[in-house]
Amino acid sequence: MSFAFHRPGSLDAAIAVASEHGEAARFLAGGTDLMIQINRGRAAPKHLISLAGLGLDTIGESEGEHVIGALATLDAVVTHPAFQTGLVALTQASAVVGGRQVRNIATVGGNIVNASPAADLVPVLLALEATVDLRGPAGTRSMPLDRFLVGRGRTERRPDEILTAVRFDKPPAASATWFLKAGRRKAMEISVICVAAHLVRGGKARIAIGAAAARTVRVPAAEALAEKEGAAAFREAGRIAADAVSPIDDVRASARYRKLLVATLVERALAACADRLGKDGR
Ligand SMILES: Cc1cc2nc3c(=O)[nH]c(=O)nc-3n(C[C@H](O)[C@H](O)[C@H](O)COP(=O)(O)OP(=O)(O)OC[C@H]3O[C@@H](n4cnc5c(N)ncnc54)[C@H](O)[C@@H]3O)c2cc1C
């Protein structure tokens, strides 16, 4: 394995290198996915373009939105003051990625662009109806994360586009989020199923599920039921979500077991949101 390492001094310079080399180049953030893929022979870029030091690592707010820079680390998400109450699902999901060393360098943008169906942060961002910002030679474009994700390892990103940030509306005060992950062990484990829920008092529910299809998915039919609120509606939402997904059998779990997990975790995540809203969710 050999590649040229580029350390550009600006976003435009990084994009120029990527444009010049096309599919032979890959951007490097924390490297916790990419370097492993290179070591295992699953990726063989001829050019690695570092995104470090280009100002993409801030987490902030603007005009009713939260904006997370693509290079923000998962550790920075876990400890961010704005994510400790209504947006706690962001910290719950980030906190179960790998171990401390991984979270210290792994980035939000890497988790999204890598497009693993089991990426833990992605269901939370989908449940928050997040938008991604992409910068390329022609300028910046934005699109819903739901449209950005195409399939396993595939997104709408062009090879010379940098994911610069992910944004989502500040949720209303009377809203709650929750994230649940099932794995074969409690730490350093890829999700067998992961679920994120976002409940707004007065009738809005969003549910997203990871590791249950070729990409992380929302389940609108289950969301509609969950909006009725209450224990029976949440149970039924779980059942409908399980029907809606098509997980695979693999070494981690059978498809049937994954569907059972979806039903249970969706119900529990919704109930946890309702509890946080001070309602009787069970
Ligand atoms: C031991 C271990 C355990 C792990 N456990 C989990 C887990 O439990 N859950 C989980 O979800 N993940 C897990 N991961 C995977 C990984 O840590 C995360 O997906 C992480 O968020 C990836 O971020 P990164 O910055 O390291 O990405 P990188 O490896 O740098 O990049 C990943 C991909 O995205 C591209 N890319 C990165 N940033 C950008 C950008 N801004 N613009 C354009 N392209 C970009 C790269 O070119 C590459 O193709 C684990 C990894 C390890 C090594």
Q: Does the Cβ of 155 fall within 6 Å of ligand 1?
A: no
135 and 41 in one domain? no
Q: What is the pLDDT of residue 251?
A: 82
First to last CA, the chain: 54
Is 282 within the bounds of a domain? no
Ligand 1 atom closest to 29 (CA): 30
Checking if the pLDDT of 114 tops 70, the result is yes
Mean pLDDT of the chain: 95
Q: Tell me if 281 is assigned to some domain.
A: no
The whole-number pLDDT of residue 186 equals 74
Domain that holds residue 191: 175-276
Beta-carbon contacts of 240 under 8 Å, excluding residues fewer than 6 positions away, are: 219, 221, 222, 225
| b/e sequence 14-39, b meaning 16+ C-beta within 10 Å | bbbbbeebeeebbbbbbbbbbeebbe
Decide if pLDDT at 94 tops 90: yes
Q: Are residues 150 and 236 in the same domain?
A: no
Q: In this model, does residue 282 exceed pLDDT 50?
A: no
Looking at 137, 169, 201, the residue that finishes a domain is 169
Residue 276 tokens read as 């946080």
For residue 140, report the distance from its CA to the centre of ligand 1, in Å.
22
Give how many domains the chain has, as a whole number: 3
Residue 255 inside a domain? The answer is yes
The pLDDT > 90 percentage for the chain reads 89
* 14 lies in the same domain as 76: no
Give me the residue label for tokens 């550790």: 75
Which residue, by CA, sits nearest to atom 5 of ligand 1?
98
Query: Which pLDDT score, from 0 to 100, does residue 229 have?
Result: 86
pLDDT in tens, 35-78: 999 999 999 999 999 999 999 999 999 889 999 999 999 999 99
Residues 71 and 162 occupy one common structural domain: yes
Select from 13, 86, 16 the least CA-distant residue to 54: 13
Task: Compute the distance between CA of residue 31 and CA of residue 240 in angstroms, rounded to an integer.
Answer: 37
Match 């993409």 to its residue by tokens.
Answer: 56
- Are residues 236 and 251 located together in one domain of the fold? yes
Is residue 149 included in any domain, yes or no?
A: yes
C-beta separation of 84 from 95 below 8 A: no
**Distance in angstroms (rounded) separating the CA atoms of residues 231 and 267:** 8
CATH number for 226? 3.30.390.50
The answer on pLDDT for 32 being more than 80 is yes
Q: Are residues 95 and 191 in the same domain?
A: no
Residue 72 is assigned to a structural domain of this protein: yes
The pick from 19, 42, 114 for probing ligand 1's pocket by mutation, whose C-beta has the most ligand atoms within 8 angstroms, reads 114
Q: What is the pLDDT of residues 196-220, one digit of tens each?
A: 999 999 889 999 999 999 999 999 9
Whether 180 and 165 map to the same domain: the answer is no
The answer on 70 and 159 residing in a single domain is: yes
> Rounded distance, CA 161 to CA 163, Å?
7
Ligand 1 contacts CB of residue 70 (under 6 A): yes
45 lines ligand 1 (CB under 6 A): no
pLDDT at 162: 98
| pLDDT at 119 exceeding the cut of 70 | yes
Mean pLDDT of 1-24: 96
Residue 145 belongs to some domain of the structure: yes
Banded model confidence at residue 187, pLDDT cuts 50, 70, 90: confident
Q: Tell me what pLDDT residue 203 has.
A: 82
Shared domain for 141 and 220, answered yes or no, is no
Does the Cβ of 38 fall within 6 Å of ligand 1?
no
Instruction: Show the tokens assigned to 57.
Output: 């690592």
Q: Which tokens belong to 274? A: 């309702």
Provide the pLDDT for residue 279.
54
